Amino acid sequence: YDNRDGHIWMDGKMVDWREANVHILTHAMHYASSVFEGERAYNGKIFKSREHSERLKRSAEMIDFEIPYTIDEIEAAKAEVLAASGLQDAYVRAVAWRGVGEDMGVASARNPVRLAIAAWEWGAYYGDAKMKGAKLDISKWKRPSPETIPSHAKAAGLYMICTMSKHAAEAKGCSDAMMYDYRGYVAEATGANIFFVKDGEVHTPTPDCFLNGITRQTVIGMLKDKGITVHERHIMPEELEGFEQCWLTGTAAEVTPVGQIGDWKFEVGALTREIATDYEKLVRS
Ligand code: PMP
């Protein structure tokens, strides 16, 4: 990803893609003092752009730093990056972090807070699995309690267990892993929220220790508009046996059907397909 043409917005300036580097003693690299956003532009416009900028600011506050730009400034920077990329459909990554400065210990209050934004092309997150139904492994790592870490922040530190879970899943030929939470309830995948269908109703875990994804909220709204009952509740692993359909939601994943989790199988059913198609229409409307 580092060797390509283009420009990345860094701390207020557009810099050459290959020159968008940071020093090795950057605090974030040692202590995970970093938050980020994953966004998608469709037809030249970022879907729910402002919601993403607001979440970025909130994530930073949750891990104890303030991004030195207003929401409007971040919005303008993202628009500039997107225009410079020349792309109509793009993935947009904003990242904010504690830089290098006076402090090299755990505390870093005197180090500058930095912000960078890049955009590139990113097709279907689960590749071929997209409409056939992704196969998920079950992770041995559990989503932590909000008393252990600010689990609603989209913060780098929370992705360590996601990366390990996804690596283990891929080694078994799976596209991703489903994670339980610290209490044993079904939580989410490593970069996407999860939904189940049973008897025409939808069940999805209560987001009390993981991201209440922007796509998740959008899809719940779409389901309710169709008059479909959505149960946001704690879901026990044994219940997976009784669910007929399953899908994941996320900015990168969009709506991806799931065909299998561990030994549990699901059909890529009519509602799953309808929601995936409707979401695609919505983001382009
Ligand atoms: N959970 C995790 C761990 C994620 O990384 C993401 C992607 N940001 C999501 C859920 C879905 O969030 P969103 O729909 O806002 O992209």
Helices (H) then strands (E): counts for the chain = 7, 15
What is the extent of the structural domain holding 205? 129-284
Number of structural domains found in the chain:
2
The rounded Å distance from CA 105 to ligand 1 centre is: 30
Average pLDDT rounded to a whole number, residues 144-165: 98
The rounded Å distance from CA 100 to ligand 1 centre is: 28
Residue 245: pLDDT over 90: yes
Residue 129: pLDDT over 90: no
Question: What pLDDT, in 10s, does the model give residues 39-92?
Answer: 999 999 999 999 999 999 999 999 999 999 999 999 999 999 999 999 999 999
Instruction: Determine which one of 57, 78, 135, 154 is catalytic.
Output: 154
Distance CA 175, CA 166 (A): 8
Closest among 245, 249, 244 to 278, alpha carbons compared: 249
Distance CA 39, CA 221 (A): 19
**285 half-sphere exposure, CB direction, 13 A CA radius:** 6
CA-closest residue to ligand 1 atom 2: 191
- Total count of residues recorded for the chain: 285
Average pLDDT rounded to a whole number, residues 235-260: 98
Question: Given ligand 1 and candidates 211, 254, 275, which is best to mutate, with the most ligand atoms within 8 Å of its CB?
Answer: 211
Do 76 and 152 have their domain in common?
Answer: no
Do 73 and 36 have their domain in common?
Answer: yes
Residue 265 DSSP symbol: E
Give the pLDDT confidence score for residue 126 in this predicted structure.
Answer: 84
Last residue of a domain, one of 120, 155, 174: 120
Do 205 and 172 have their domain in common?
Answer: yes
CA-closest residue to ligand 1 atom 12: 213
Beta carbons within 8 Å of 133's beta carbon, 6+ residues apart: 257, 258, 259, 260, 266, 267, 268
The rounded Å distance from CA 37 to ligand 1 centre is: 9
User: 134 lies in a domain?
Assistant: yes
Do 44 and 162 have their domain in common?
Answer: no
Q: Residue 105: which CATH number?
A: 3.30.470.10
Q: Residue 142: which CATH number?
A: 3.20.10.10
Predicted structure pTM score: 0.97
Question: What pLDDT, in 10s, does the model give residues 180-232?
Answer: 999 999 999 999 999 999 999 999 999 999 999 999 999 999 999 999 999 99
Last residue of a domain, one of 99, 120, 141: 120
Residue 132 is among the residues annotated as catalytic for this protein: no
Residue 128: pLDDT over 90: no
CA-closest residue to ligand 1 atom 9: 192
